[in-house]
A = this chain, B = another copy of it.
Amino acid sequence: MVKKQIIMEKSLELFAENGFEATSIQQITERCGISKGAFYLHFKSKDELIDSLIDDFMTKFVAKIERSVSEGQPKEELLYNYLNVSFSEFGQQANFAKVFLKEQIHAFNEELLNKMQGYITILNKILLSIVQRQFDQLHPSMYLDIVFATSGLMKSHAELFLIEHYKVDLHVLCSSIVEKVGIIAEHAKIQAIAPEYLSSVNIKTSYSKEQLMELLESIQQETEINSIIWESLQMLNENLQEPKLSGALIQGLLKNIKVESRCVWVAYLYQSYLENEK
């Protein structure tokens, strides 16, 4: 399936250059040096292409972030790692970042929008967990303010080198943001964002039991899944139908499947489903 990869790369180039709506299948096939028919051998429609692009990048991205801020890491370095992975990934996949992270998302249909919003919510949740761990002396009412301050600082700097092509030393950039966030966390008193905000976002992006089961099964059907992950998925699926596993067992199974980057996303959905249930 080399050709599929080529289509994805070249189309991402074109989307970054001209935007999603303004890029035609014709243009994509021309740049790939293939015929129009060949495109439709790999993708059912233009929407399926963009769907694949989002999943392909975001599952890997979330998995890398997740790994860099996992439990083993020293807590002082969590935010730095998050920023470092984010920016270096943006740099390597500048085209994706240009198209999707700049949220020129108007052009998408509702389904894609929800999908993208889901990933962004996950990233915000990871960021929230970082803030909670790294700034543990902070009053919880300020958590969300710090989360949004961080993503704001990230955004303005990301634009500088995505659009203006302004080059900065990666280490200096991350250190400077860590410093600024740290300073805000230490001194800021005025709270702008109420914690209720988070729950309203959670509800909006949650999946139903049936959607979740379908998702678990679709991953099981992939060929390269190993047996431990397969069994874990199976048990998680059964537990949805008939809840009988304890919280600790579920957490263990979720850790099992998070090894596979394709599953990190599902693990989050599963977790937020359980949170919404109880």
A binding-site residues for B, Cβ under 8 Å: 16-22, 98-99, 102-107, 145, 148-149, 151-157, 159-160, 163-164, 166, 168, 172-173, 175-177, 179-180, 183-184, 187-193, 197, 200-201
Contacts and interface: CB of A to CB of B under 8 A. Distances in A.
B192 A188 contact: no
Contact of A190 (B20, B106, B155, B176): B176
Contacts of A20: 106
A40 B92 CA distance: 45
A192 B102 contact: no
Contacts of A187: 183, 187
Contacts of A21: 19, 21-22, 107
A72 to B, nearest CB: 27
Contacts of A106: 16-20, 22, 98-99, 104
Nearest to A165: B200
A179 B188 contact: yes
Contacts of A145: 176
Contacts of A157: 148, 152, 192
A159 B187 CA distance: 24
Contacts of A19: 21, 104, 106-107
Given A149-B180, A184-B184, A172 B201 contact: no
A190 B175 contact: yes
Contacts of A201: 164
Contact of A184 (B16, B17, B154, B180): B180
Contact of A188 (B22, B104, B160, B183): B183
Contacts of A104: 19, 102-107
A230 to B, nearest CB: 38
Nearest to A152: B156
Contacts of A163: 103
A200 B154 CA distance: 21
Contacts of A99: 106
A22 to B, nearest CB: 6
A57 B260 CA distance: 49
B153 A149 contact: yes
A168 B152 contact: no
Contacts of A183: 183-184, 187-188
Contact of A166 (B173, B191, B197): B197
A22 B109 CA distance: 11
A206 to B, nearest CB: 16
Contacts of A151: 156
